[in-house]
C-alpha cells in the first residue's frame, strides 16, 4: 500500500479506538467529568500525563527546532523536562492534598476570594487558548500532508474528534484516551528514529547513533562521526557548526531566560496540574509523577538524535539539486506550501547561509495568494526584473523564510526513504500528540468557566445535570475558537506553546508557590501580582512579535530579550508586587491558615484528613 492508504488505515483505527474509549468512559456526574472520579491508577495517570504533556510541540516541533537551531535548540528540551521535575517535586503532591478540581479552584479557596478565583479563571483560559492554538496547527499540518486535504479542513476534522470524546467522557474519557494516545505517539516516534539510526550508523539505539560514526559507504570509506560530518557540512554552506553553543540571538542570557520560563511555566500549566487531581491519594500523585517522567524521557532523550538525522538528510537531499532532481519527499511536502523553492535563475537549490531564503514556508498564504506569487515569480524569472515580482523578496517581506520547522519530524522518514507504513505511523503519532493535549486544554477551559465561574460564582445552586450541560457547552465553544487559532495561527507550534509557558510562569507560579509555602500572603497581593505578571508578559510578547516593538536590552544586553523568555521577568514582577503589598494588606483568615498548615503535614495526619473527606465542590 502507498503512504496515503496506510495513513487512512492508521488514522481510522486510532480514531475509532479513541472514540470507543470515550463512549465506554462516558460520565454522568461532575466528579467524573472534571477529575475522572479520582480513581485513576498511578501508572495509567503517568501515561496520561506524559501524553497530555507531550503535545504537538514535543512530537512535531521540538526536534525541528533542535534540527534548525543546533545545540541552542536544546533549551526547549532542558526547559520542559526541568519544569516537569519542578512541578512533580515542588507542587503536585500539595495540590493533590488540597483536593480541588482546578487551579482557579485552589486559588479561590486559598486566597478566600471570588475576585481571586475570577482572575485565575481569566489567566487559565488565556494560557490554555494560547497553548491550544499550537495543537490545532499541528493537526492541520498532519492532515494537509498525509491525507492531502487543506490545512483548514484538517483542523476542522481534528476539532470534531476532540469535541466528541472530550464531551462524552470528560476527564475520565480523556484520561483513558490519553493512555492509548501515549502508546501511539511513542511508538510512532521511536520506530523511525531506530530505523534511521541503523541506516546511518548501524546502531539501533538512536542516542548511541547520534554520537557514532557514519557507515563507511556514507563517509567515502573514512571513519567520521555523524556530528563531525554535520558540522563540516554546515560550515561549508556558511552556517554555524551544528554543535556550536550560543549562536545568533541565542546568547547565554536568552538561553537561560527561555529555559527558566519553560520550567516555571510548566509548574504553572493548568492542564498538567489537573492531572494530579485524578489519582486516589498524595502517594499516587508522587508515583504518577515518577511514571510520567519515565514515559516522557523515552521521547525527550530521542529527540536530539532525530533532529540531527533530519538536518543531515535535509541538507544532503536538497542542496545543489535542480528542479528535476528534487527528491520525492520535497515534492510531497511542496504541495502543502510548508516548504517552497523559488529559483533565482540558476536552476539550482542553494540551501546555504545567505542564500537559504530561496527555501520558504508559505503555509499561511491561501491557495489563491500562493498561486499569484508563483505566477508573478515565474514572469519575473522570464524577464529578470522587467515585469512580475521576485517571489523571494515578497515572501521574505511577509516573514516567510526557511522551511517550516513543524514539518521536520513528519518529513524525516520520507527523507530517509523508510517504508510507507512507518511514514504513515508518524502521521498517526503526530495526531495523537496534538489531540491528547488539545483535549486536556479544552477541559481546563471548560472546568474554569463551568465550575469556577458558573458554579462557584454565578450559580452556586446549580444541580449536577445543569453543571454538566454548561461544561459540555463550553467545550463546544472552546473547540470552535481553538479551530480558528489553528487555521489562522499566530506562529509556528513551538513558538506559540512557548508563549503559553511564559504566560503561565508569570501568572500562576508565584501564586501557587506562595499559597502553599506561606500563610501570610492574602487576597489583594495575590490578585495584584497575577494581573501585573500576566499583563506585563502579554504586553511584551504582543508588542515584539506582532507590533514591531524593539526587544528590550536594559542597556547592558547585546541582544534584546527573546519574547519566549520574558515570562521569567513577568514572574519576578508578580513575586515582587505580591511580597511588597503583603505587609500592608490584611492577613488570610484563621481557616485558611489552618488549611495551609494541614496541606504541609504528612498524609493522614491532623486536619488534612478532613480536607480529603470533605464533600466535593
Q: How many CB atoms lie within 10 A of CB 408?
A: 27
Q: Say whether both 272 and 299 belong to one domain.
A: yes
Band (pLDDT 50/70/90 cuts) for residue 275 is confident
Band (pLDDT 50/70/90 cuts) for residue 308 is very high
Specify if 245 maps to a domain: yes
Residue where a domain terminates, one of 474, 498, 522: 498
Of 225, 249, 339, 343, give the one whose Cα is nearest residue 240.
249
Specify if 123 maps to a domain: yes
Band (pLDDT 50/70/90 cuts) for residue 304 is very high
Band (pLDDT 50/70/90 cuts) for residue 612 is very low
Q: Say whether both 72 and 150 belong to one domain.
A: yes
110-165 tens-digit pLDDT: 888 888 888 888 878 877 777 777 777 777 777 777 777 777 888 888 888 878 87
**Strand residues in 274-408 grouped as ranges (E):** 340-341, 359-360
| pLDDT over threshold 50, residue 488 | yes
Q: Say whether both 382 and 469 belong to one domain.
A: no
Residue where a domain terminates, one of 387, 407, 427: 407
Q: Say whether both 127 and 262 belong to one domain.
A: yes
Specify if 133 maps to a domain: yes
Spatial contact of 141 and 406, defined as CB atoms under 8 Å apart: yes
Specify if 529 maps to a domain: no
Which residues, other chains included, contact 376 with Cβ-Cβ below 8 Å and sequence gap of 6+?
A: 388, 389, 391, 394
Task: Kindly report the three-state secondary structure assignment for every residue of 399-414.
Answer: CCCCCCHHHHHHHHHH
Give the cell for residue 593. Answer: 491558615
Q: How far apart are CA 525 and CA 115, in angstroms?
A: 12
Band (pLDDT 50/70/90 cuts) for residue 190 is very high
17-75 tens-digit pLDDT: 888 888 888 777 777 777 777 888 989 989 988 888 787 778 877 888 888 888 888 88
pLDDT of 164: 82
The most confident of the ranges 58-62, 247-251, 411-415, 467-471 is 411-415
Specify if 489 maps to a domain: yes
Q: Say whether both 97 and 159 belong to one domain.
A: yes
Q: What is the pTM of this model?
A: 0.83
**Strand residues in 75-185 grouped as ranges (E):** none
pLDDT of 262: 86
The domain total for the chain is 2
Q: Say whether both 341 and 465 belong to one domain.
A: no
The mean pLDDT of the chain is: 83
CA distances from 89 to 35, 93, 289, 291, 317 (A): 21, 7, 8, 13, 45
320-361 tens-digit pLDDT: 888 888 888 888 888 777 788 888 777 888 777 765 557 777
Q: Say whether both 138 and 21 belong to one domain.
A: yes
pLDDT of 613: 36
Q: What's the N-to-C CA distance of the chain in angstroms?
A: 53
473-487 tens-digit pLDDT: 888 888 888 888 777
Band (pLDDT 50/70/90 cuts) for residue 604 is low
Spatial contact of 270 and 500, defined as CB atoms under 8 Å apart: no
Of 501, 507, 523, give the one whose Cα is nearest residue 570.
507
pLDDT of 188: 92
Q: Say whether both 106 and 235 belong to one domain.
A: yes
pLDDT of 489: 66
Specify if 44 maps to a domain: yes
Range of the structural domain that residue 373 is part of: 319-407
Q: How far apart are CA 470 and CA 477, in angstroms?
A: 11
Q: Say whether both 71 and 212 belong to one domain.
A: yes
Q: Say whether both 167 and 255 belong to one domain.
A: yes
Residue where a domain terminates, one of 498, 532, 564: 498
* CATH at residue 61: 1.20.1730.10
Q: Say whether both 212 and 302 belong to one domain.
A: yes
pLDDT of 352: 74
Which residues, other chains included, contact 88 with Cβ-Cβ below 8 Å and sequence gap of 6+?
A: 286, 289, 290, 292, 293
Q: How far apart are CA 460 and CA 436, in angstroms?
A: 31
Q: How far apart are CA 470 and CA 448, in angstroms?
A: 11
Average the pLDDT over 285-294 and give the result. 87
Q: Say whether both 101 and 221 belong to one domain.
A: yes
Spatial contact of 230 and 311, defined as CB atoms under 8 Å apart: yes
Q: Which of 260-274, 320-334, 500-514, 520-534 has the lowest mean pLDDT?
A: 260-274
Specify if 515 maps to a domain: no
pLDDT of 461: 85
- Percentage of the chain beyond pLDDT 70 is 94
pLDDT of 201: 93
Specify if 564 maps to a domain: no
| pLDDT over threshold 60, residue 546 | yes
Amino acid at each position: 500500500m502507498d503512504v496515503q492508504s496506510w495513513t487512512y488505515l492508521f488514522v481510522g483505527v486510532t480514531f475509532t479506538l479513541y472514540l470507543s474509549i470515550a463512549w465506554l468512559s462516558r460520565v454522568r456526574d461532575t466528579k467524573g467529568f472534571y477529575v475522572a472520579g479520582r480513581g485513576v491508577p498511578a501508572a495509567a495517570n503517568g501515561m496520561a500525563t506524559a501524553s497530555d504533556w507531550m503535545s504537538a510541540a514535543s512530537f512535531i516541533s521540538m526536534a525541528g527546532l533542535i534540527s534548525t537551531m543546533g545545540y541552542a535548540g536544546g533549551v526547549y528540551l532542558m526547559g520542559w523536562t526541568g519544569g516537569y521535575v519542578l512541578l512533580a517535586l515542588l507542587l503536585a503532591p500539595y495540590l493533590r492534598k488540597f483536593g480541588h478540581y482546578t487551579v482557579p479552584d485552589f486559588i479561590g479557596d486559598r486566597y478566600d476570594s471570588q475576585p481571586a478565583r475570577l482572575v485565575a479563571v481569566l489567566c487559565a483560559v488565556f494560557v490554555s487558548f494560547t497553548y491550544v492554538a499550537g495543537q490545532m496547527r499541528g493537526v492541520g499540518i498532519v492532515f494537509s500532508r498525509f491525507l492531502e486535504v487543506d490545512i483548514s479542513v484538517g483542523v476542522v476534522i481534528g476539532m470534531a474528534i476532540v469535541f466528541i470524546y472530550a464531551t462524552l467522557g470528560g476527564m475520565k474519557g480523556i484520561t483513558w484516551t490519553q493512555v492509548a494516545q501515549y502508546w501511539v505517539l511513542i511508538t510512532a516516534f521511536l520506530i523511525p528514529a531506530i530505523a534511521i539510526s541503523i541506516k546511518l550508523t548501524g546502531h539501533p539505539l538512536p542516542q548511541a547513533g547520534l554520537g557514532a560514526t557514519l557507515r563507511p559507504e556514507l563517509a567515502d570509506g573514512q571513519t567520521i562521526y555523524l556530528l563531525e560530518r554535520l558540522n563540516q557540512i554546515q560550515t561549508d554552506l556558511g552556517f554555524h557548526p551544528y554543535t556550536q553553543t550560543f549562536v545568533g540571538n541565542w546568547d547565554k542570557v536568552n538561553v537561560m531566560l527561555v529555559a527558566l520560563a519553560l520550567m516555571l511555566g510548566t509548574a504553572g500549566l493548568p492542564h498538567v496540574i489537573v492531572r494530579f487531581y485524578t489519582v486516589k491519594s498524595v502517594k499516587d500523585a508522587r508515583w504518577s509523577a515518577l511514571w510520567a517522567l519515565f514515559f516522557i524521557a523515552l521521547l525527550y532523550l530521542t529527540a536530539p538524535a532525530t533532529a540531527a538525522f533530519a538536518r543531515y538528510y535535509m541538507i544532503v537531499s536538497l542542496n545543489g539539486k535542480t528542479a528535476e532532481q528534487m527528491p520525492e519527499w520535497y515534492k510531497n511536502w511542496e504541495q502543502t506550501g510548508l516548504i517552497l523553492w523559488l529559483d533565482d535563475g540558476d536552476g539550482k537549490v542553494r540551501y546555504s547561509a545567505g542564500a537559504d531564503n530561496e527555501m520558504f514556508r508559505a503555509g499561511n498564504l491561501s491557495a489563491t495568494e500562493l498561486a499569484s506569487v508563483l505566477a508573478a515569480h515565474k514572469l519575473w524569472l522570464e524577464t529578470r526584473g522587467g515585469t512580475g515580482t521576485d517571489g523571494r523578496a515578497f515572501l521574505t517581506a511577509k516573514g516567510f523564510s526557511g522551511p517550516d520547522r513543524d514539518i521536520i519530524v513528519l518529513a524525516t522518514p520520507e527523507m530517509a526513504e523508510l517504508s510507507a507504513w512507518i511514514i504513515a505511523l508518524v502521521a498517526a503519532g503526530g495526531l495523537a500528540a496534538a489531540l491528547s493535549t488539545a483535549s486536556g486544554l479544552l477541559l481546563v477551559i471548560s472546568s474554569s468557566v463551568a465550575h469556577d465561574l458558573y458554579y462557584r460564582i454565578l450559580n452556586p445552586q446549580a444541580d449536577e445535570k445543569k453543571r454538566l450541560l454548561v461544561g459540555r457547552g463550553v467545550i463546544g465553544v472552546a473547540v470552535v475558537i481553538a479551530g480558528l487559532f489553528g487555521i489562522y495561527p499566530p506562529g509556528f507550534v513551538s513558538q506559540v506553546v512557548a508563549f503559553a509557558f511564559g504566560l503561565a510562569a508569570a501568572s500562576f507560579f508565584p501564586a501557587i508557590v506562595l499559597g502553599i509555602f506561606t500563610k501570610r500572603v492574602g487576597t489583594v497581593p495575590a490578585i495584584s501580582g497575577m494581573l501585573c505578571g500576566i499583563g506585563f508578559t502579554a504586553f511584551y510578547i504582543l508588542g515584539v512579535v506582532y507590533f514591531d516593538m524593539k526587544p528590550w536590552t536594559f542597556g547592558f544586553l547585546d541582544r534584546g530579550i527573546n519574547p519566549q523568555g520574558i515570562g521569567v521577568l513577568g514572574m519576578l514582577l508578580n513575586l515582587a508586587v505580591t511580597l511588597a503589598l503583603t505587609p500592608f494588606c490584611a492577613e488570610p483568615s484563621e481557616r485558611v491558615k489552618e488549611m495551609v498548615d494541614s496541606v504541609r503535614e504528612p498524609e493522614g495526619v491532623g486536619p488534612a484528613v478532613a480536607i480529603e473527606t470533605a464533600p466535593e465542590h
